[in-house]
Amino acid sequence: MIDAARQALIEQYIEAYNRLDIEGMLAVLTDDVRFEHHAGGDLSVATDGKAEFEKLARVGAALFASRRQTIEELHEEGDEVMAIVAFHGEIAEDIPDGPGAGTVIEMDGTSTFRFAENRISQVVDRA
């Protein structure tokens, strides 16, 4: 059984992410939050602290006309909760040497959350 308070924080974070609501995402994070994104097994980006997270989140939100993470499953293991997620997003503008505007991206991945001070203290995304 997942801790209800932790599940509520994760759901608030994901709902804000889906709305492209950066302030809503920041509201559930500790000031010293650690964020990591791993792609294909390699660490592709990491931030430490809310200010760095906010900068990255704003860049990420601007890339998408819409995006949605759907929680498929939650697993609590000690002080972590892992969410198995499905992602669907539509690129907002052409990306140089990348996908064009309107391209739909769908993938599955995981997000692992740690907690401190009744907030999320770490998010590790793996795609």
Q: How far is CA 30 from CA 65, 73, 122, in A?
A: 28, 24, 8
Q: pLDDT tens digits for 49-84?
A: 999 999 999 999 999 999 999 999 999 998 999 999
Domain count, the chain: 1
Average pLDDT of the segment spanning 95-108: 94
pTM of the full predicted structure? 0.94
Can you give the residue range of the structural domain that contains 47? 4-126
Say if CB 65 and CB 88 are below 8 A apart.
Answer: no
**SS3 category, 30:** strand
The whole-number pLDDT of residue 5 equals 96
Q: How far is CA 6 from CA 24, 75, 88, 101, in A?
A: 16, 11, 24, 36
CATH code, domain carrying 52: 3.10.450.50
Residue 106, pLDDT above cutoff 90: yes
pLDDT band, residue 1 (cuts 50/70/90) = confident
The whole-number pLDDT of residue 91 equals 96
